[in-house]
Amino acid sequence: MARRISLVPPRKRPLVGPNGPRRGSLCGVLRGGVHFAVLLVLLGAVGCGSGGQPDKDGAENNATTPADGDGATDKPAEKLTVDGGTGATSPAPEKPVEPKTSGPFKLGNLVPPFEAPPLAEIDAKAEWVDMPVVDATVRLKEEYWKARPEPKPVAEALSARNVSPETNAMILDTLGRLPASEAAANWNASINRHTAADVKSTNPLLASSTIEFDVGGLIGFGLFSFDWLMRPFASSDAVVSWQTSKDRMYDKIVLRDDLTWSDGTPITAHDIEFSFLTIMSKEVPASAQRSGTDKLKYVKAYDDRTLVYFHQEALATNIWNVNFSVVPKHIYEKTIAADPTLQDSDEHVALERNPVTGGAYTITSRTRDQEIVLERRESYYMHNGKQVRDKPYFKQIRFKVMADSSVALLGVKTGDIDELQLTPDLWKTQTNGDDFYERNTKVYAVEWVEFHFLWNCSEPFFRDKRVRQALALAFDHEELIQSLRLGIDQPSSGMFNAASPWSPPNFNARFQKRDLEKAEELLEAADWVDHDGDGIRDRMVDGKSVKFEFSLQTSNRPDRIAICNLLKENLGQIGIEVNVRPLEFTVLSENMRTHAFQAAFGGWGTGTDPDTTENIFGTGKDRNYGNYSSPEVDRLYGLGRREFDFDKRLEIYRQIHRELYEDQAYMWLYYQNAYYAFNKDLRGYVFSPRGPFNYSPGFSGIWKASAQ
Residues 339-358 that bind other proteins (CB under 8 A): 341, 343-344
Residue 393 touching other proteins (CB under 8 A): no
Q: How far is the CB of 344 from other proteins (least distance, A)?
A: 7
Amino acid symbol at 360: A
Residue 220 touching other proteins (CB under 8 A): no
Distances (CA, A) of 236 to 2, 218, 326, 359, 632: 7, 16, 17, 14, 40
Site string for other proteins, 646-675 (x = CB under 8 A): ------------------------------
Residues 361-380 that bind other proteins (CB under 8 A): 365, 367-371
> H/E/C letters for each residue in 160-222?
CCCCCHHHHHHHHHHHCCCCCCHHHECCCCEEEEEECCCCCCCCHHHCCCHHHHHHHHHHCEC
Residues 585-614 that bind other proteins (CB under 8 A): 585-587, 589-591, 593, 604-609, 612-613
Q: How far is the CB of 203 from other proteins (least distance, A)?
A: 9
Strand partners, 242: 253
Residues 259-298 that bind other proteins (CB under 8 A): 282, 285, 287-292, 294
- Residue number, 105 or 128, with CB nearest to other proteins: 105
Q: Please give the Cα distance from 623 to 297 (Å, whole number).
A: 25
Helices (H), 303-418: 318-321, 329-332, 346-353, 378-381, 405-414
Q: How far is the CB of 404 from other proteins (least distance, A)?
A: 5
Q: Please give the Cα distance from 622 to 615 (Å, whole number).
A: 6
Q: Please give the Cα distance from 161 to 427 (Å, whole number).
A: 12
Q: How far is the CB of 79 from other proteins (least distance, A)?
A: 4
- Residue number, 231 or 383, with CB nearest to other proteins: 231
Between β-strands 599-604 and 549-555, what pairing exists: parallel, antiparallel or unpaired? parallel
Amino acid symbol at 438: E
Given 173, 258, 333, 404, the residue binding other proteins (CB under 8 A): 404
Amino acid symbol at 669: L
Stretch touching other proteins by CB under 8 A, among 32-40, 327-335, 488-496, 572-580:
32-40
Question: What number of chain residues touch other proteins (CB under 8 A)?
Answer: 118
In terms of Cβ atoms closer than 10 Å to its own Cβ (0-12, 13-18, 19+), residue 310 is middle
Given 1, 26, 314, 488, the residue binding other proteins (CB under 8 A): 26
Residue 65 touching other proteins (CB under 8 A): no
Amino acid symbol at 490: Q
Given 401, 633, 669, 702, the residue binding other proteins (CB under 8 A): 401
- Residue number, 243 or 325, with CB nearest to other proteins: 325
What's the sign of the alpha-carbon dihedral 341, 346, 352, 354? Answer: negative
Residues 508-547 that bind other proteins (CB under 8 A): none
Q: How far is the CB of 152 from other proteins (least distance, A)?
A: 30
Torsion-angle region of residue 221: left (phi > 0), alpha (psi -120 to 50) or beta? beta
Q: How far is the CB of 145 from other proteins (least distance, A)?
A: 27
The helix/strand/coil state of 130 is strand
Residue of 21, 29, 77 whose CA lies nearest to 209: 77
| Cα 310 → chain centroid | 27
> H/E/C letters for each residue in 27-58?
HHHCCCCHHHHHHHHHHHHCCCCCCCCCCHHH
Q: Where are any strands of DSSP class E within 104-155? A: 129-130, 133-134
Given 2, 7, 77, 633, the residue binding other proteins (CB under 8 A): 77
Contact between 682 and 702 (Cβ < 8 Å): yes
Given 193, 377, 398, 452, the residue binding other proteins (CB under 8 A): 398
Q: Please give the Cα distance from 639 to 647 (Å, whole number).
A: 13
Stretch touching other proteins by CB under 8 A, among 60-68, 123-131, 472-480, 677-685:
60-68
* Cα atoms in the 13 Å half-sphere on the side-chain side of 393: 29
Contact between 599 and 455 (Cβ < 8 Å): yes
Residues 419-478 that bind other proteins (CB under 8 A): 435
Stretch touching other proteins by CB under 8 A, among 124-132, 336-344, 489-497, 681-689:
336-344
Given 69, 204, 217, 494, the residue binding other proteins (CB under 8 A): 69
Between β-strands 224-226 and 666-671, what pairing exists: parallel, antiparallel or unpaired? unpaired
Stretch touching other proteins by CB under 8 A, among 34-42, 331-339, 418-426, 562-570:
34-42
- Residue number, 42 or 525, with CB nearest to other proteins: 42
Q: Please give the Cα distance from 462 to 192 (Å, whole number).
A: 49
Q: How far is the CB of 86 from other proteins (least distance, A)?
A: 5
Residue of 293, 248, 360 whose CA lies nearest to 696: 360
Site string for other proteins, 180-219 (x = CB under 8 A): ------------x-------xx----x-xx----------
Residue 222 touching other proteins (CB under 8 A): no
Residue 623 touching other proteins (CB under 8 A): yes
- Residue number, 37 or 240, with CB nearest to other proteins: 37
Residue 24 touching other proteins (CB under 8 A): yes
Given 5, 21, 74, 234, the residue binding other proteins (CB under 8 A): 74
Q: How far is the CB of 607 from other proteins (least distance, A)?
A: 4
Q: How far is the CB of 283 from other proteins (least distance, A)?
A: 8
Q: Please give the Cα distance from 153 to 137 (Å, whole number).
A: 23
Q: How far is the CB of 153 from other proteins (least distance, A)?
A: 29
| Cα 552 → chain centroid | 26
Stretch touching other proteins by CB under 8 A, among 116-124, 337-345, 476-484, 678-686:
337-345
Distances (CA, A) of 347 to 97, 105, 326, 335, 354: 14, 17, 18, 7, 10
Residues 104-143 that bind other proteins (CB under 8 A): none
Q: How is 343-380 classified by DSSP, letter by letter?
A: SSSHHHHHHHHS----SSEEEEEEETTTEEEEEE-HHH
Given 76, 165, 433, 638, the residue binding other proteins (CB under 8 A): 76
Q: How far is the CB of 52 from other proteins (least distance, A)?
A: 4
